[in-house]
Amino acid sequence: MTQGTTIPHLFCFGVGYTGRRLGQRLLVEKWQVSGTCRGEVSAEPLRNLGFSMFPYGGERHNIETVLDALSNATHVLSTVPPSRDHGDPVWQTFGSHISNMKHLEWVGYLSTTGVYGNTDGAEVDETAPTRPSGERGERRVSAEQEWLSLYQNDACPVHVFRLPGIYGPGRSSLDQVRNGNPRRIEKPGHLFNRIHVDDIVSTLIASMAQPHPGAIYNICDDEPAAPGDVTAYACELLNLAPPPTVPFEEARATMSDMALSFWNDNRRVSNKRIKRELGVTLTYPTYRDGLKAILDQESAA
């Protein structure tokens, strides 16, 4: 992915669920992987895997340490969401430094398909206008614009990736069913998009291999589906009876504001661009493929 004999180096702001899976894949390919996390409790397990970790939560005295670690990165990824009051903390603190790193080959920002807002079930692709229906989506649109300004103003190789609900090992409907709190909320015609974490990783790696600075990509699977259908299939895999359906109007009374914000939007998201431009073939094109694979992996462990 890199030219000459330079060892490729990914620096990831916010090594969480997705960043960890990406870093582990790259370490196998002999990359250097470093990044930030919230504290030593999170850092130590990642260091044991081979990551170079720098706990950082906005402390001014740690900025120079992060900048020093960042200075020889060839690739940069930010998974950190914007905050309610202060916007995108990574862009604000490190954006100008990143834009001046002329040796960078690729920069990625993980956003959300929530920027499209509600389309009443109509399909959207990356050319669709951003019309978020809530404050969180508006903050994401602003963050995207900030990151893309590094490309527009300084030719920094920025890419934006819009993600729906992420699932994978340890974080799926199988876990919800096992934990005893599955719900099958029924809202006819309402669909959600989702993506297996390993397909996010594969798409990011495909983008690193063939950068298109300034590009925006949706990363989602091929089959938007009702959440109740996903829960029912998880129950089937676990040989359990599915819970009864609950009408949305009844369920909403006990939902958090965040949960309600997801249910306010109904859209189908197209993933054609990642296939056309990056040559991506999804390993888990539907939730059935993904959940079945997770269960098989657990059984084989």
Domain of 82, CATH number, reads 3.40.50.720
Instruction: Decide if 187 is inside a domain.
Output: no
Kindly indicate the confidence band of residue 181, based on its pLDDT and cuts at 50, 70 and 90. Answer: confident
CA-nearest of 174, 162, 115 to 139 is: 115
- Name the residue range of residue 50's domain: 9-167+195-221+267-284
CA-nearest of 275, 300, 282, 277 to 201 is: 282
pLDDT tens per residue across span 25-50: 999 999 999 999 988 999 999 999 99
Kindly indicate the confidence band of residue 5, based on its pLDDT and cuts at 50, 70 and 90. Answer: low
Residue 3: is its pLDDT beyond 50? no
Instruction: Decide if 255 is inside a domain.
Output: no
The pLDDT of residue 7: 93
What amino acid is encoded at 259 in this protein? A
Distance separating alpha carbons of residues 57 and 130, to the nearest angstrom: 30
Instruction: Decide if 205 is inside a domain.
Output: yes
Specify the number of domains making up the chain.
1
For residue 23, the SS3 value is: helix
Query: Mean pLDDT across the chain, nearest whole number?
Result: 94
CA-nearest of 78, 107, 82 to 19 is: 78
Residue 69: is its pLDDT beyond 50? yes
- Cβ-based neighbours of 43, under 8 Å, separated by 6 or more: 37, 53, 54, 55
Instruction: Decide if 256 is inside a domain.
Output: no
Distance separating alpha carbons of residues 294 and 149, to the nearest angstrom: 39
Instruction: Decide if 128 is inside a domain.
Output: yes
Range of lowest pLDDT (57-66, 69-78, 88-97, 222-231): 57-66
Kindly indicate the confidence band of residue 2, based on its pLDDT and cuts at 50, 70 and 90. Answer: very low
CA-nearest of 254, 256, 231 to 241 is: 231
Is residue 99 within 8 A of residue 153, CB to CB? The reply is yes
Instruction: Decide if 300 is inside a domain.
Output: no
Residue count of the chain? 301
pTM passes above 0.75: yes
Instruction: Decide if 145 is inside a domain.
Output: yes
Average pLDDT rounded to a whole number, residues 113-123: 96
Instruction: Decide if 30 is inside a domain.
Output: yes
Specify which residues 76 forms β-bridges with: 11, 107
